[in-house]
Amino acid sequence: MRILKEMKEFLNPRNAFERCRRWGVPIWQCPDMILLFVGVIAVISIILVTILSQRYQFSEEILVSVASMLAVAFLVAGFLLSVTLEKIAQANHLRAQFLRIVSHQLRSPITAARWALSSLMTDFGPMFPEGASRMISIVEDAVGRMRRVAEAVAEVSIAARMQKPQDTFAVQEVVLALSQEFDSAARIAGIAFVSNIDGKKCFIHADRDQMRYVVEVLLDNAMRYSKKGDTVSLGLTCEEKHVVISVHDTGMGIPVKEQGKIFEPFFRASAAHGVWPGGTGLSLFAAYSIVEALGGKLVFSSQEKRGSTFTITIPRADQKS
């Protein structure tokens, strides 16, 4: 009875599309669609058997037996295959969710610790005994390694969920949360943080975690490549058809000859190696890919030693056709 109940639910088209949406896989990779494909093969096989039987004068009993066995065999094989693939899809979904949670929980406290240590060494480093300074440097290096691990986990998580179903939400919720987090980190680092967020709610159709990742990457880069006394600004504007998010800094900027490669995978500007030698060069590439997938644009302008401005433009959800 349990097997019959599962098969009844499995063969319901509405449940099939819901399962595809839940596991975040394309229709053509969905286990239920694979079962449908197997069913089509079974029907074609039955038709071929019928044609062959008419040509070679098979008896009606043999025809019915062969057709029935083929149909049952294909149905059972397809059902078992589809159930197995659904379990794999569920495991992949749980893995991506786990990576997302771990990366988010690691990145925020590590960022605060990194900026606190940097500020401590900048402001009070000359006052420490030699042994204390060496120990703080070791801790700072360890925090840097942890940060790189967290970034790698985040990038794997984002890549694993590039086809995740999207939700409609107010983008201010994501931007305000990041504004509060980076405002605290900026105070520790001695960087002025300015936010100008439109009070009018504007909705976008996207994956909330991916959108947070994009803005967080831009803010983290702005903070990382700015020094004490510089300014980092975060802005959000609701236009008639688009949402515009901008991140501006007065830091080191990007050399003109390197600006054309800034969104390429594994590329890092020459000045970045001295500030953050352990970066992967994938964060901006991932952010750019996410925005492009949403039908938006990620552009920037930069002047060396004067700073950079990155601007995200995404269609508003209520303006999409």
E-strand stretches of 75-200 = 167-170, 192-197
CA pseudo-torsion sign 7, 13, 16, 18: negative
Choose among 174, 234, 264: nearest CA to 210.
174
Residue entry with tokens 């949406």? 21
Give the whole-angstrom CA distance, residue 162 versus residue 197: 27
Three-state DSSP class for residue 18: helix
Take residue 157 and report the two structure tokens written for it: 């998580």
Q: How confident is the model at residue 243 (pLDDT cuts 50, 70, 90)?
A: very high
Question: Smallest Cα–Cα separation from 309: which of 227, 241, 221, 237?
Answer: 221
Q: Are 292 and 241 in contact (CB under 8 A)?
A: no
pLDDT at position 89 over 90: no
Share of the chain above pLDDT 90, in %: 21
Q: What is the CATH classification number for the domain harbouring 292?
A: 3.30.565.10
Report the range out of 9-23, 45-59, 88-102, 213-227 with the highest average pLDDT: 213-227
Which range in 12-26, 51-65, 224-238 is most confidently predicted, on average pLDDT?
224-238
**Residues 153 and 187 reside in one and the same domain:** no
For residue 45, pLDDT beyond 80: no
Same domain, yes or no: 154 and 231? no
Residues 208 and 320 in one domain: yes
DSSP states of 62-85 as a string?
HHHHHHHHHHHHHHHHHHHHHHHH
Cβ pair 314, 206 in contact under 8 A: yes
Domain identity same for 183 and 303: yes
pTM for the model = 0.56
Same domain, 139 and 170: no
The confidence score (pLDDT) of residue 187 equals 86
Range of the domain at 304: 166-321
Q: In this predicted model, what pLDDT tens digit does every residue of 278-296 receive, in sequence order?
A: 566 778 888 898 898 888 9
Residues 115, 5 share a domain? yes
Instruction: Determine the 3-state secondary structure of 251 from DSSP.
Output: coil
| Lowest-confidence pick of 17-21, 116-120, 138-142 | 17-21
pLDDT for 41 equals: 72
CA distances (Å), origin 258, targets 289, 298, 299: 19, 17, 15
Give the pLDDT score at 207: 85
* Region at 281 (left for phi over 0; alpha for psi -120 to 50; beta for the rest): left
Among 164, 188, 205, give the residue marking a domain's end. Answer: 164
Residue with the two structure tokens 């054309």: 260
Per-residue pLDDT at 171: 94
Q: How many domains does the chain have?
A: 2
Give the 3-state secondary structure of residue 26: coil
Residue with the larger pLDDT of the pair 256 and 107: 256
Show the beta-strand stretches assigned E in the chain: 167-170, 192-197, 203-206, 231-238, 242-249, 297-303, 307-315
- 120/170 same-domain check: no
Q: What is the mean pLDDT of residues 229-245?
A: 95
CA distance 175 to 153: 22
Per-residue burial over 4-37, b if 16 or more Cβ lie within 10 Å, else e, is eeeeeebeeeeebeebbeebbbeeeebbbbbbbe
Residues 45 and 86 in one domain: yes
Q: How far apart are CA 109 and CA 250, in angstroms?
A: 25
Task: Report pLDDT for 6.
Answer: 54
Residue where a domain terminates, one of 136, 164, 192: 164
Same domain, 185 and 306: yes
What's the confidence (pLDDT) of residue 213? 86
Question: What's residue 209's pLDDT?
Answer: 82
Q: What is the pLDDT of residue 321?
A: 41
Digit-coded pLDDT (tens) for 135-163: 777 777 777 667 666 666 665 555 555 55
Query: What's the pLDDT at 283?
Result: 80
Q: Among 164, 196, 220, identify where a domain stops.
A: 164
Q: What do you get for the CA distance between the two ends of the chain, in Å?
A: 46
Same domain, 271 and 132: no
- According to the model, what pLDDT value does residue 320 have? 46
Residue 214: Cβ-neighbour burial (10 angstroms; 0-12, 13-18, 19+): buried
